[in-house]
Amino acid sequence: MPNIVIVGAQWGDEGKGKVVDALSAAADVVARYQGGPNAGHSIVRGGETVVLHLVPSGVMHPHPRCLIGNGVVIDLRRLREEVTRLEALGIVVGRRLGLSPAAHLILPYHGAVEAAAERGPGAIGTTGRGIGFAYRDKAARTGLRLADLFDREAFIARADRTLTRLRQEYPEATELQAMNGAVLYAALHDVAAWARPLVCDVGGELHAALGRGQRVLLEGAQGTLLDLDHGTYPYVTSSAASAAGAPLGVGLGPRAVDRVIGVTKAYTTRVGHGPFPSEMPETEATRLREAGEEYGATTGRPRRCGWLDLPALRYAARINGLDALVITKLDVLDGFERIRVVTAYDGEDPARGGFSADARALERCRPVWRDFPGWLAPTTSARRWGDLPGPARQYLEWIERECGVAIQSVSVGAGREAEVSRS
């Protein structure tokens, strides 16, 4: 296990946190490469659920170094709160955490303009964490990075220029009126002093770790179908959530990645607006939502629920170059008499490879369904392949064949122990 990328193969919330936590038992370094506190990665430890938003999921084990790469956008106050919450639970973070000085900061004005934008006609259904506007400033070269916190005059001047522009662009964002660079800087003074000793050369450290033969995990947030380039634009997040974003977002070259693992639920969920061809009718969705506790880990919003979408999963396998799949939440389907899958979209052009990330085309597509018999038996205590009911194995083996990607393991419960290895 030298350098593994763990990536969401759907629209997020696939169970990446659980998978990273499991693999972290044998990892030396775990790094986040994109996204920010829009992520909510849940880990169940001894019956208690811990939700991580910015801190890498390796933190639940005592030894791994936990790095936040240049591709991440950081809300420093939220980060410190998260670390404080973890330490109160007895999870020692301390100097195990390292932050790239090139990571951009999410500042209060990003949240204020996002709230205004989300009240308008172009609403995406974001998590409200200021993500899109922080990445917008990054791309426009008007952002402030962690390193900029340590140059007071430059920070204040740049923040004031951005505020002047945003007030003109979003006059309805009245919170902007009271903001100015000096006040923002002063409000960050404490937390900047807290963060300063954590700043490190993330890419350099990872390069050195790999050179020593250490084991590295690069933890994706969101999912492939929320990727800024390859997802269902504009109903996406604002970062490179797919595997190609991993080396970029931590300062490594593409050859530094040895293995890419895609995480998918045995069905599909989505939070926020945008096309969802395999979405269920509401009565069925309600049943699945309750069985799978499908409420957002960051916002508490009910997740939209649907069946597995094979064209989308094949697309994720291609975009990420998946070496293996981890299938989660199989147990949630235990009580369903009939398991449905979208196998194709009617009228799809096979030359285009099935799934289209074109949101308009996806809205129009007519899904082709296949039904599998449910297994109607509990799977939570299964630990070996042979422990799974026959119909469940047939369903999983069919997914494996149709995607052309080997299943590495199947998760059958939220706890660490609830895992079935394929071999």
The item of ligand GDP, ligand IMO, Mg ion, none sharing an interface with residue 331, based on CB under 5 to 8 Å by kind, is ligand GDP
To the query of whether residue 41 is one of the catalytic residues in this protein, the response is yes
Q: What are phi and psi of 291, to 5 degrees?
A: -65, -40
Cα Rg of the chain (Å, integer): 21
Residue 334 burial by Cβ neighbours in a 10 Å radius (0-12, 13-18, 19+): middle
Binding segment for ligand GDP among 36-44, 72-80, 157-165, 362-370 (CB under 6 A)? 36-44
Euclidean distance between CA atoms 219 and 79, whole angstroms? 17
The item of ligand IMO, ligand GDP, Mg ion, none sharing an interface with residue 354, based on CB under 5 to 8 Å by kind, is none
Tokens 């964002």 identify what position? 173
Q: Is 18 in the site for ligand GDP (CB under 6 A)?
A: yes
Figure out which of the listed residues 3, 24, 100, 126 binds ligand IMO, where binding follows CB under 6 A: 126
Figure out which of the listed residues 13, 21, 148, 309 binds ligand IMO, where binding follows CB under 6 A: 13
Nearest to ligand GDP of 15, 36 (CB atom): 15
Q: Which residues in 270-309 contact ligand GDP (CB under 6 A)?
A: 297
Euclidean distance between CA atoms 35 and 249, whole angstroms? 10
Q: Is 38 in the site for ligand IMO (CB under 6 A)?
A: yes
Figure out which of the listed residues 32, 110, 129, 265 binds ligand IMO, where binding follows CB under 6 A: 129
Q: Strand pairing partners for 268?
A: 306
> Running DSSP on this structure, what letter comes out for residue 128?
S
Binding segment for ligand GDP among 150-158, 162-170, 342-350, 407-415 (CB under 6 A)? 407-415
Q: Which one of the listed residues 21, 28, 41, 53 is annotated catalytic? A: 41
The helix (H) or strand (E) run that includes residue 250 is helix 245-250
Asked if residue 15 lies in contact with residue 329, where contact means CB atoms within 8 angstroms, the answer is yes
Q: Is 326 in the site for ligand IMO (CB under 6 A)?
A: no
Torsion, Cα 145 150 151 152, to 10 degrees, reads 100
Binding mask 283-322 for ligand IMO (x = CB under 6 A): --------------x-------------------------
Euclidean distance between CA atoms 160 and 142, whole angstroms? 11
The item of Mg ion, ligand GDP, ligand IMO, none sharing an interface with residue 124, based on CB under 5 to 8 Å by kind, is ligand IMO
For the chain, the distance separating the N- and C-terminal CA atoms, rounded to the nearest angstrom, is: 17
The item of Mg ion, ligand IMO, ligand GDP, none sharing an interface with residue 231, based on CB under 5 to 8 Å by kind, is none
The helix (H) or strand (E) run that includes residue 51 is strand 48-52
Nearest to ligand IMO of 236, 317 (CB atom): 236
Q: Which residues in 319-338 contact ligand GDP (CB under 6 A)?
A: 328-329, 331-332
Instruction: Report how many helices (DSSP H) and strands (DSSP E) the chain contains, helices first.
Output: 12, 18
Q: Strand pairing partners for 22?
A: none
Euclidean distance between CA atoms 213 and 405, whole angstroms? 27
Give least dist CB 327 to Mg ion, A.
17
64-75 as b/e: b if 16+ CB within 10 A = bbbbbbbbbbbb
Nearest to ligand IMO of 9, 341 (CB atom): 9
Q: Is 39 in the site for ligand IMO (CB under 6 A)?
A: yes
Q: Is 17 in the site for ligand GDP (CB under 6 A)?
A: yes
To the query of whether residue 258 is one of the catalytic residues in this protein, the response is no
Figure out which of the listed residues 40, 58, 231, 311 binds ligand GDP, where binding follows CB under 6 A: 40
Give least dist CB 55 to ligand GDP, A.
13
Cis peptide before 234 (omega within 30 of 0): yes
> What's the maximum distance between 2 C-alpha atoms anywhere in the chain?
66
Q: Is 69 in the site for ligand IMO (CB under 6 A)?
A: no
Q: What are phi and psi of 6, to 5 degrees?
A: -110, 120
> Running DSSP on this structure, what letter comes out for residue 295?
B
Binding segment for ligand GDP among 137-145, 158-166, 393-401, 412-420 (CB under 6 A)? 412-420
Binding segment for ligand IMO among 90-98, 118-126, 251-259, 329-337 (CB under 6 A)? 118-126
Give least dist CB 299 to ligand IMO, A.
7
Please report the sign of the dihedral spanned by the C-alpha atoms of residue 184, residue 189, residue 190, residue 195. positive
Q: Is 15 in the site for ligand GDP (CB under 6 A)?
A: yes
Q: Where on the chain is the footprint of ligand IMO (CB under 6 A)?
A: 8, 11-13, 38-41, 124-127, 129, 131-132, 221-223, 226, 237-238, 271-272, 297
Catalytic residues: 13, 41
